[in-house]
Amino acid sequence: ATMPVVSMTCAAQAQARRHRHPTAPGFSARRFSGSRPLTSTWKCSSSSSKNTSSSSRSNFGLLDWAGSTFIPQGPIVSSTKFAWNTMWKTLMSELAPQDQSGAYTRPPAAYTSVVGVTPSFPASSSYTLYIGNACPWCHRVAIAAALRGVPAESLRIVKLVDDAERASRGGWIVESGRDPLFGAKDLREIYDSAAGGQYFGRCTAPLLVSDAQKVVVANDSAEIVRSIDALPGDDVTLRPAALAAEVDKWVERITSEVNNGVYRAGFATSQTAHDAAALPLYRLLDELDQHLETRRFLCGGSVTEADVVLLPTICRFDDVYSVLFKCSGRRIADLPNLSGWLADMMRLSVIADTYDAASARSSYFGQLFPLNPSGIIPAGGRSTKELVAQWLSRSDPAKRERLAVGVSALHTRD
């Protein structure tokens, strides 16, 4: 049978290589393809000429040219992989500091004061909070502020946008153009102004600043959540005294193995480092799922700080971390009690309003260049409203409510 015009069979290609390079004078493809001549490209293909006349020419690559003429394929592939891997590890070390084993090590926060605990930052004063919606550490702070109902005169919230190309350092710029406290355009300028000069260090969010003193209170989300619990607001507490020990235990484990765990798995530059982060993450997700079979929330019938720190990671897990951070060993959709807990949290309307799913996907897939060089954002992602509806549809609200009959979803202050 006569072969299509666009190409030879694979066997014919191999025979052609043994005889003469196709660009050599006098080369004739008729001896390999019957009565019809080949085009200038000789890829293994079964498509017709009308569909591939231009695209097939673009498929003539380095391996076709060099592998059949000068250098065997093996050295080309191995040297290219080495160069790419070396550049990738260099970029990863800038994005996420690594130790010698290839494990991501999150640097400690530079500011760790707590409002109402540190004497120079009283709860009666006013503060400005800088947060970016895409960031899970910012998200936990936003959830805490929403649940506590902190008034704007005590806590002014400034929204940040993740845009490393427009930021002077780091990735955050002020969404409104200028920040109301310092007139800064991005987070680096805010850090510089609050430090009274040039700030040396990582410009991270969330960031809590004293309005009166114009200095940083904290840039660690844990201290900021505790600070928010001390500010004026609704008669609600996220860390009731009677549950403080249990809350602290869960917060410590969740922060280490879940919140940081997904990042350590995703930012690892060795298989050993990835496994060391991913496996404890999966174990704790399984434990949480089992724990929530008999409890509506982590520490009983009401939401606490432990639930607040867990929620941002669970919101993003199936959409982002399972894919981009290679945490595909579990899906929240497959953990029925954890899914039910997620639905319970989202039934609190102030919480659902704190999450922007599209912004999160865009930030992770579009901005983390070393993990996704193409910048391609997966198609078909659901909006926040669609995701919440999906989470609620998987849950049996009556069953969840029976776990805490007559108990308010929020703790009142002692």
d(CA 324, CA 376): 11
Contact 207, 130 (CB under 8 A): yes
Extract the tokens encoding 91.
């970029």
Q: Are strands 207-210 and 127-132 parallel, antiparallel or unpaired?
A: antiparallel
Q: What radius of gyration, in Å, describes the C-alpha atoms of the chain? A: 28
Which one of the listed residues 104, 127, 199, 263 is annotated catalytic? 263
d(CA 175, CA 168): 15
Task: Indicate the burial class of 296 (C-beta count within 10 angstroms; 0-12, 13-18, 19 or more).
Answer: buried
Facing residues of 112 across strands? 218
135 noted as active-site residue: yes
Contact 320, 360 (CB under 8 A): yes
Which one of the listed residues 135, 299, 315, 327 is annotated catalytic? 135
Q: H or E stretch including 207? A: strand 207-210
Question: What type of residue sits at position 182?
Answer: F
Extract the tokens encoding 10.
């694979």
Extract the tokens encoding 103.
């494990």
138 noted as active-site residue: no
79: alpha, beta or left? (left if phi > 0; alpha if psi -120 to 50): alpha
d(CA 186, CA 165): 11
d(CA 114, CA 126): 13
Number of Cβ within 10 Å of residue 368's Cβ equals 22
Q: Which residue has the tokens 């290219």?
A: 80
| Residues with a known catalytic role | 135, 263
